[in-house]
Amino acid sequence: MQDILSQYETVTENAVKEWFKVGLTSDFPENSGACIKYKTKQIAVYNFARTGKWYACQNLCPHKMEMVLSLGMIGDKEGVPKVACPMHKKNFSLEDGSNLAGEDLKIATYPVKIKDGNVYIGFSD
């Protein structure tokens, strides 16, 4: 199980080696999430239409190792964009992947780029 988790590591924008095209912006529901596949990874992509911002993180909830985060409800906690895992409502910041209740759970985040109506996720592998 640990193997599944270990393939997810936060990628910052300047470490991106490949901007991978995952679809049209219209493929992604507004103010909600959807899941994409990159090699063996499952990545959750969120379209915050209210702020015009996009976020991406691992689809795997590190709490119980289920591929579900893209199904979670999104929103904000005191201005920080977040996703609530549908399983046990663990809240994660989409800015830095930290658990918003201060628990020792963390998710990897990935940069998102929108160009000509296409959505790209940045990977370093």
x/- contact string, 13-52, with other proteins (CB under 8 A)? Answer: ---------xx---xxxxxx-xxxx----x--x--x-xx-
Establish how many alpha carbons lie within 13 A of residue 97's alpha carbon, considering only the half-sphere containing its beta carbon. 20
104 binds other proteins (CB under 8 A): yes
Q: Which tokens belong to 93?
A: 């910041």
What is each CA distance from 121 to 2, 32, 88, in whole angstroms? Answer: 24, 17, 27
Can you tell me the distance from the alpha carbon of 30 to that of 9, in angstroms, rounded to the nearest whole number? Answer: 26
CB distance 110 to 121 below 8 Å: yes
82 binds other proteins (CB under 8 A): yes
CB of 63 to other proteins, least distance (A): 9
Place of tokens 């599944």: 4
Establish how many alpha carbons lie within 13 A of residue 51's alpha carbon, considering only the half-sphere containing its beta carbon. 14
Can you tell me the distance from the alpha carbon of 5 to that of 99, in angstroms, rounded to the nearest whole number? Answer: 16
CB of 53 to other proteins, least distance (A): 10
Of 14 and 72, nearer to other proteins (C-beta) is 72
x/- contact string, 52-81, with other proteins (CB under 8 A)? Answer: --------x---xxxxx--xxxxxxxxx-x
CB of 12 to other proteins, least distance (A): 22
**List of residues contacting other proteins (CB under 8 A):** 1, 4, 22-23, 27-32, 34-37, 42, 45, 48, 50-51, 60, 64-68, 71-79, 81-82, 84, 86-87, 89, 91, 102-104
